Amino acid sequence: MKTLQITVVALSILAATPAFAAAQDFNAVDTDGNGTISYEEIVAVLPDVSKDQFAEADADGSGELSAEEFAKLAGE
């Protein structure tokens, strides 16, 4: 029960973080509106994302993140 309460609190804190909330919105991160997210676009919202993390999330190696690839990265 205690663990559950801590999880709820942690989620509330995360949800209240503007960068995290924005990161949940693919269209908000895709600032040039081309339908994919480049590394430059993601670090503008989430400066902590490293090139390695980006490359890892880029499952098909296209150099940009699709909505599906981005969802996995943002969900971590």
Dist. CA 48–CA 46, nearest whole Å: 5
Piece in contact with Ca ion (CB under 5 A), picked from 3-11, 20-28, 47-55, 67-75 = 67-75
Query: Closest Cα partner for 44 from 30, 63, 56?
Result: 30
φ and ψ of 32, to 5 deg: -90, 0
Binding map of Ca ion across residues 7-46, x = CB under 5 A, - = no contact: -----------------------x-x-x------------
Q: Rule CB under 5 A: which residues touch Ca ion?
A: 30, 32, 34, 58, 60, 62, 69
